[in-house]
Structure 1
Amino acid sequence: MNYYLLVLLVASLGALSFFGYRSAKKIKNYDNYFLAGRQLGIFSVCVSLLATQIGGGVILGTSQASYKYGIYGIFYTFGLSLGLIAVAFFGAKQLREKNVATVAELFEKEYNSVFLKKIASIISITSLYGILISLIISTKGFLVAFGMKNDLILYAFWVILLTYTILGGIRAVVYINMVKITLIFIVFTSVIAYYAIERFEFLQFSLDSLLVSIKPKGEISFSDYIIVPFLFVFIEQDMAQNFFAAKNTKVAYISAFLAGVLLLLFSFIPVIFGVAARSIGNIPDGANEMMFFFTQTSNGFVTLATSVATLCAILSTGDALLCAISSNLALDFKTKSKNSLLHTRIITIALGVGAIALAHYFNDIIKIMLISYEVMVCTLFLPIVTSYFNFKNTTAFAYISIILGIVGFISYQKFVVLFEHNISREIFCILLALFAFPLSRVYTLSQAKN
């Protein structure tokens, strides 16, 4: 089984690398590389949005959390789904109308500050980098579940993924993701059908155990697992990049709504199988519970199919993150060098290799993702969302808002201890940042008088 999976993995990555190489020859400029010429339709954008989210976090992270907490394991994916549906009504259209290439660019266009654009870009890259690390952690758990504990396999997997993504840009990523997302949905719905017909006792066990053996609610915060992903959807670069690449505003908001609904429906699958994994014992340390469950309770074909689908999911989110990081580096820190795109590719590959090394020091997928989300939500949410509105925004407001967000992020623990108030970090930071409205007004008036 491990041999077949390894051969299939190598063959798939080789094919993707070749496709990335072919796509690279057609790239003429930044707009084509990062935004596909702003010509993507509803199906392309919807699939790309799903590919951005249905990765190691949603499949392996949700199943891991469900194994521990039961139905509460769905909170993270539920937050993402609600975020996509909400951004369809407010956010997708506004982002497409701004006609920018990165979220950080809003600080230059709306707040007239190139410096803030670079600060926002650094924060965005840091946030996306943390999510990338969590994805590598999930890959390691996936491989361990199949007895592949050799780190060289993990390194090879991610280095090849880095290569084909950096070569082909968003157009190659979108086309490849169409195939991958279709395969993911077909495989996992078929696996549900298989267990319903052949091994229904495991589904029955899962349904009976969803609300059993759940740790105290203090162990899993409603705010952290729903609100943070919900808010992050409005401002994350890898999501917004799909809206920037949409053909028009209608394509942007329809795609977001469809992606949100499909993601919500899909999220119940890793929850069911994560809980079902409680029915077996002796899960190896570091192995993903759901994948190990498949190896122990299904036939070789089902195990291989779910393995391929999960690998596709990891690849889909991984290449979306790498494209987003690459776009931040190239478009927010433009240089006049003729080889600037080449330099961006080299730096992105170096960052990716660094993420592989850092992933060895962590093991909680969802926790790392939530911390990464918090960094950006706490510091940039208010000024970014405010920029969606068409009223005069001042540079002072953006500066003060970001500074207050950073202060809130750093001082949060002291606030909780001092006032004994269990408010979540991101809500605390956003509420603190709201003081930027009166403070920036006072500053503007004082400047006018002077």
Structure 2
Amino acid sequence: MFDSENIKLLIVFLTLLICLGISLFYAKKNKNQEDHHLAGKRLGISTLVLTLLATQVGGGAIVGTTELAFEYGWNGFSYSFGIATGLLVLCLGVGHKIRALNVKTIPEIFSIKYKSSVLHKLSAAASVVTLFFILIAIGVSTKKFCTFLGLNNPWMLFALAFLFLAYTSFGGFSAIVKTEILQITYILILTVVVIFNIETPFKEALSLAEQTKILIPPFSFSNLLSDKGFLLPIFFTIIGQDMGQRCAAAQNPLKFSVASLIAGILILVVSFVPVALGIIARIKGLYFDNNTCLILHVLEKETSLELTNLFAVGILFAILSTADSLICAISLNVHMDLMPHEKRSKIIFAKIFSFLFGLSAIVIANYFDQIIPVIIFAYELFVVLFFVPIFMAVCLKNPSKLSAYSTIFLTFTLWLNHTLSKTQPLGLFAILFLGALIFLAVELGVKNLPRSEIKP
């Protein structure tokens, strides 16, 4: 009565219905902004670990990483390694300091530390655009294997999209966290099952990769500092609103630091599977086109059709768990940073924003084919403009507004020259390093000026 096709669709619909039920339950419990956007600031270590993992293990870390590994071998680890490094930086004190500021959003740091409403609004708008482009990339990865799941019927796709947008919009951050825990648990279980059922053992894949270095480029640490696929995930993990929201929702700074470390380690462990599968596909000559989901293509050859179908459902859950956190972060930025103050107490606006942004991303995703390039494009300008001022605001006691403006102007100018120049004289790391130097130089100059010479 139930074949594998029907079973996987049944799992998807039942899970989304459960997520909707959880969302409606928390919609009744949320009494104020803090409940809706930050889960009442009650997240403990285990919950934080799972929601951090669910946020990062999405289309980029699974579908996109497999494709990178197919092209670049073990260097396909760069994206996941960048995320893990960013989480390590948060663990080593930056996350602790952000949580101690007691801000609701990352852009709010500009109001608290720099006393600048202009930079607050500008960074919030940039954050919304950045997160929206990443959301589009998540939609692209969904499109890549919807056909494999048998989701060709427009009404079926509409029903799935409606269930997703409904549970994402109604229950707020509390519901998102609970549904992410459900989804990431399924993914982790399937990952373990794949490891023990793969036809070509990973040990054999390692051996084959070593013997075919011409075919599979070896991993190179020396290339990382010039690799945007490694650097941008580091910087955006530190200052991105999706991570900032989880930081603000933690019970205390220490618990967020511990959770960041554990989540970073688990991301590397989970990412090993798609990287190894990409290498196996390259060694065995399993080629694919833009309409094929490579990781599912490999699994179908290396395991059973049943396990491949179940893993496809797991990828869908991974994508949804990242997408809902992005929508939630966008809603928080718009509601708390960009809306007039008198309307911020009305949670209904946050729910409407969540639904509309999610729907727009689903529509626009149909016009893109690549995943990682879209994510990198989304990261880049936000990181160039705001990483140094935000990082310095977290690390320094009373940074000046002039230092922030000077750095933003310099890094944007260098980035624009870097982007338009055919010779590309400066890389991302060098641009941010120079930005940090100019920030400190201006800061030192401001501190040494007589008080009467400093304009308010």
- Letter in structure 1 aligned against 2:251: K
- Letter in structure 2 aligned against 1:300: L
Percent identical residues: 30
Of 249, 260, 263 in structure 1, the residue corresponding to residue 264 of structure 2 is 260
Query: How far does the alpha carbon of each residue in 1:71-116 deviate from its partner, in whole angstroms, 9 at most, with x for none?
Result: 1111110111111112100211001100011000000000111221
Q: Give 1:41's aligned residue.
A: 44
Q: Count residues with an aligned counterpart.
A: 444
- The whole-number CA distance in structure 2 between the counterparts of 1:427 and 1:229 is 16
Q: Which moved more, 1:437-446 or 1:165-174?
A: 437-446
Deviation of 1:65 (Å): 0.9
Contact 1:146 1:292 in 2 (8 A): no
Contact 1:180 1:313 in 2 (8 A): yes
Q: Give 1:50's aligned residue.
A: 53
Query: How far does the alpha carbon of each residue in 1:182-207 deviate from its partner, in whole angstroms, 9 at most, with x for none?
Result: 22111111111112xxx236873565
- The whole-number CA distance in structure 2 between the counterparts of 1:395 and 1:156 is 49
Unmatched segments (≥5 aa) in structure 2? none
Q: Give 1:355's aligned residue.
A: 361
Q: Which moved more, 1:95-104 or 1:157-166?
A: 157-166
Of 128, 132, 146 in structure 2, the residue corresponding to residue 143 of structure 1 is 146
Q: Give 2:337's aligned residue.
A: 332
- The whole-number CA distance in structure 1 between the counterparts of 2:354 and 2:29 is 20
Structure 1-normalised TM-score? 0.90
Deviation of 1:229 (Å): 1.0
Deviation of 1:156 (Å): 4.5
Of 5, 9, 32 in structure 2, the residue corresponding to residue 6 of structure 1 is 9
- Letter in structure 1 aligned against 2:337: D
- The whole-number CA distance in structure 1 between the counterparts of 2:369 and 2:70 is 15
Deviation of 1:264 (Å): 1.3
Structure 2-normalised TM-score? 0.89
Q: Give 2:170's aligned residue.
A: 167
Of 16, 27, 30 in structure 2, the residue corresponding to residue 27 of structure 1 is 30
- Letter in structure 2 aligned against 1:306: F
Contact 1:374 1:426 in 2 (8 A): no
Contact 1:38 1:245 in 2 (8 A): yes
Deviation of 1:121 (Å): 0.6
Change (3 A) 1:281 1:262: closer
Unmatched segments (≥5 aa) in structure 1? none
Aligned-partner SS, 1:209? helix
Of 230, 237, 255 in structure 1, the residue corresponding to residue 241 of structure 2 is 237
Q: Give 1:109's aligned residue.
A: 112
Aligned-partner SS, 1:99? coil
- Letter in structure 2 aligned against 1:236: G
Of 417, 427, 431 in structure 1, the residue corresponding to residue 430 of structure 2 is 427
Of 93, 97, 100 in structure 2, the residue corresponding to residue 94 of structure 1 is 97
Deviation of 1:15 (Å): 2.1
Contact 1:95 1:243 in 2 (8 A): yes
- The whole-number CA distance in structure 2 between the counterparts of 1:443 and 1:170 is 41
- Letter in structure 1 aligned against 2:398: K
Q: Give 2:399's aligned residue.
A: 393
- The whole-number CA distance in structure 2 between the counterparts of 1:237 and 1:255 is 17
- The whole-number CA distance in structure 2 between the counterparts of 1:203 and 1:62 is 19
Contact 2:168 2:327 in 1 (8 A): yes
- The whole-number CA distance in structure 2 between the counterparts of 1:108 and 1:412 is 30
Of 361, 374, 381 in structure 2, the residue corresponding to residue 375 of structure 1 is 381
